[in-house]
């Protein structure tokens, strides 16, 4: 009898895995397409600044040697500091793929396969999670479709590929419910999950942390022991995550990481029913049926639309939810309910939004400053979103007759797929691009390439995070494999930029030349300041009316670059007031 039960469980696991692959791969094909799985296809990554820096950060990382900690990526940003975690190049994947850098083709991207894996794992862990509330395969698999076509996850396909990993959130919820035992394996699983989340995206780590805390409290209650008995586990789990962040290059923390934003990028109280993503982008509409709801300018970070199918089961689960409302107060659910409340309050922020109406609630400045570390607070609702979806599916399967429940979920799945197409179809044009060649620009000129390759570094002035044409300048640097101070980083070192600006200003004011160890791309303002300091062997090349290239000690390089030259201020149309 026991053997037959084990065989049945094994068969169920295999069928769940196969169905998860089918659901995940089918959704991926429908929404993204298999063209992005070509690892030499980089054109689709160049359409959005976020995905561009993901890729270029990885290129610098693969071409450089190993540093300590291993996540450091100094050639991308130079003294402004960089690591793969701040170019959002998914450190967990970058670490592994870099091990094979020597055998990889010259052009290689892993973003496509990462997205494919996320779809498969989203399907797999949603099915595992739903198995906790139902043994009926129809309930489980139809519910899995709703999880895979989750608008908050799909919306991140617009550019935040690391945050498509909602399966990490599903694992956390699964682990909360699956076991109340205080085993070593359980502790190791939590440590591994939080460490992995930390080196995928810090926001995922931060939002999973309260779920783990709730699980610790639940296990303490179940074993009737005091929380202090869990101190060793807390130290190990938190220590593992902090170690992972350190390895990825997250530390040291700087004051610029605390830049404002908390209260702007919140969740609106109507977000579950609002199919509109970015308020200023009319085409970012995720329903053919429901109208957009007015919202704040930064509420897109709190995009948590349930989808038409999700709303259907939400409405039909209201009456059963009233019936089972006391379950929330039981020892099993209460810790998670508290965690969900905290996550929701943090996501809402002290600037409450209800549609287009806002209400400010006072908070001490030091609280706001700490909260600014996770300024896009609207994302913190994701665990709550999936718990709501899970609860709705459980309530329908528990309350309605089997045939009715299956029919409701089948209709919901169809509505979810069909109606959310209004949103995810906007990505089709981007994902259909296919080329291993970077888009052409004025920086693609062979003469520019020849000039830049003669210098050990590429710099730009004025120095700032994500300057104009940063992507083309960075790609130019990767083409000749030299470091650059041009970068687009998720958390920039503002103090270093300010220090560099002061240093350059003092240098030019004193009439000194810029160091000869770099080729400089300047705007017109800086070109007019550099020309008076130039020596006879220097050159100022004109690439366009707004972009000039300062090549110190050009004559000594033995080059013959046939670009237009500006030898004086008059060549730039500027009157020299000293004459």
Domain coordinates in residue numbering, the chain: 2-31+113-431, 442-572
What pLDDT does residue 227 have?
77
pLDDT surpasses 50 at 259:
yes
- Give the confidence band of 431 by pLDDT, cuts at 50, 70, 90: very high
- How much is the average pLDDT of 317-345? 90
Distance CA 346, CA 302 (A): 11
What's the whole-number mean pLDDT along residues 132-151?
98
Instruction: Supply the pLDDT for residue 257.
Output: 63
Q: How far is CA 417 from CA 36, 353, 464, in A?
A: 21, 28, 42
pLDDT at residue 332 in the model: 85
Range 359-378 burial, b when 16+ CB lie within 10 A, else e: eeeeeeeeebeebbebbbbb
Neighbour count for residue 119 (Cβ, 10 Å): 26
Chain segment 564-574, per-residue pLDDT in tens: 999 888 877 66
Strand partners, 541: 549, 565
Nearest residue to 125 (alpha-carbon basis) of 100, 162, 150: 150
Model confidence at 8: pLDDT above 70: no
Residues 6+ apart with CB under 8 A from 435: 41, 42, 43
The dihedral over CA atoms of 361, 362, 367, 372, expressed in degrees to the nearest 10, equals 60
**Section 208-230 average pLDDT:** 89
| Neighbouring C-beta atoms of residue 321, cutoff 10 Å | 15
CA distance 111 to 486: 22
Q: What is the pLDDT of residue 393?
A: 98
Q: What is the mean pLDDT of the chain?
A: 93
Residue 328 clears pLDDT 80, i.e. is over it: no
In the prediction, which pLDDT does 577 show? 47
What's the mean pLDDT in 9-34?
92
For residues 137 and 133, what is the distance between their CA atoms, to the nearest angstrom?
11
pLDDT recorded at residue 341: 98
Residue 325, pLDDT > 90, answer no
Q: Give the pLDDT band (50/70/90) at residue 579.
A: very low
pLDDT band for position 253 (cuts 50, 70, 90)? low
Of the chain, the end-to-end C-alpha distance in Å amounts to: 102
Tell me the average pLDDT across 259-274.
92
**pLDDT at residue 578 above 60?**
no
Percent of the chain with pLDDT over 70: 95
Predicted pLDDT at 81: 75
User: What is the bridge-based pairing of β-strands 539-542 and 458-461?
Assistant: unpaired
Where does the pLDDT of residue 139 fall: very low under 50, low under 70, confident under 90, or very high at 90 and above? very high
Mean pLDDT calculated for residue range 66-91: 94
Q: Would you place residue 180 in the very low, low, confident or very high pLDDT band (cuts 50, 70, 90)?
A: low
Confidence of residue 576 (pLDDT cuts 50, 70, 90): low
Question: Phi/psi at 417 (nearest 5 deg)?
Answer: -65, -50
Q: In this predicted structure, which of 240-254, 333-347, 479-493 has the lowest mean pLDDT?
A: 240-254
Quick check: 188 pLDDT over 90? yes
How high is the pLDDT of residue 2? 46
pLDDT for 36 equals 98
């Amino acid at each position: 009898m026991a053997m037959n039960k084990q065989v049945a469980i094994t068969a169920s696991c295999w069928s769940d895995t196969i169905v998860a692959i089918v659901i995940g791969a089918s959704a991926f094909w429908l929404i993204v397409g298999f063209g992005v799985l070509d690892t030499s296809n980089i054109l689709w990554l160049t359409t959005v600044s976020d995905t561009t820096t993901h890729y270029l950060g990885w290129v610098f990382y693969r071409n450089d040697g190993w540093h300590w900690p291993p996540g450091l990526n100094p050639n991308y940003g130079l003294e402004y500091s960089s690591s793969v975690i701040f170019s959002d190049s998914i450190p967990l994947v970058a670490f592994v793929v870099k091990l094979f850098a020597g055998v990889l083709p010259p052009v290689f991207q892993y973003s496509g396969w990462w997205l494919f894996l996320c779809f498969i794992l989203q399907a797999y862990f949603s099915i595992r999670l739903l198995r906790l509330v139902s043994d009926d395969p129809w309930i489980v698999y139809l519910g899995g479709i709703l999880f895979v076509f989750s608008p908050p996850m799909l919306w991140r396909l617009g550019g935040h590929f690391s945050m498509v990993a909602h399966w990490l959130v599903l694992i956390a919820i699964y682990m909360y419910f699956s076991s109340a035992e205080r085993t070593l394996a359980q502790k190791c699983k939590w440590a591994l999950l939080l460490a992995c989340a930390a080196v995928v995206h810090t926001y995922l780590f931060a939002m999973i942390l309260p779920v783990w805390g709730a699980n610790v409290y639940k296990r303490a209650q179940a074993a009737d022991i005091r929380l202090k008995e869990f101190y060793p586990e807390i130290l190990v789990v938190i220590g593992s995550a902090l170690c992972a962040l350190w390895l990825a290059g997250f530390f040291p923390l700087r004051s610029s990481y605390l830049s404002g934003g908390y209260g702007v990028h919140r969740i609106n109280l109507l977000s579950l029913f609002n199919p509109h993503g970015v308020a200023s982008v009319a085409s970012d509409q995720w329903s053919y049926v429901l109208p957009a709801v007015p919202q704040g300018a930064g509420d897109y970070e709190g995009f948590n639309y349930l989808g038409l199918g999700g709303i259907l089961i939400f409405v039909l689960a209201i009456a059963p939810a009233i019936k089972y409302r006391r379950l929330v107060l039981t020892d099993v659910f209460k810790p998670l309910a508290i965690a969900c409340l905290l996550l929701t309050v943090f996501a809402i922020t002290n600037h409450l939004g209800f549609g287009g109406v806002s209400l400010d609630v006072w908070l001490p400045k030091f609280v706001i400053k700490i909260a600014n570390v996770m300024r896009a607070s609207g994302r913190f609702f994701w665990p709550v979103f999936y718990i709501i979806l899970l609860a709705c599916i459980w309530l329908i399967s528990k309350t309605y007759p089997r045939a009715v429940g299956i029919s409701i979920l089948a209709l919901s799945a169809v509505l979810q797929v069909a109606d959310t197409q209004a949103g995810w179809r906007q990505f089709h044009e981007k994902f259909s691009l296919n080329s291993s060649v970077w888009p052409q620009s004025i920086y693609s000129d062979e003469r520019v390439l020849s000039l830049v390759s003669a210098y050990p570094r590429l710099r730009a002035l004025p120095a700032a995070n994500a300057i104009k044409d940063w992507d083309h300048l960075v790609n130019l640097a990767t083409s000749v494999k030299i470091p650059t101070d041009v970068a687009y980083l998720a958390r920039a070192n503002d103090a270093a930029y300010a220090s560099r600006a002061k240093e350059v200003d003092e240098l030019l004011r004193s009439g000194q030349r810029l160091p000869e160890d770099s080729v400089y791309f300047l705007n017109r303002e800086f070109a007019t300041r550099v020309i008076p300091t130039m020596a006879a062997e220097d050159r100022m090349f004109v690439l366009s009316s707004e972009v000039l290239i300062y090549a110190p000690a050009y004559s000594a390089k033995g080059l013959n670059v046939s670009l237009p030259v500006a030898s004086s201020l008059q060549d730039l149309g500027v009157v020299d007031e000293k004459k």
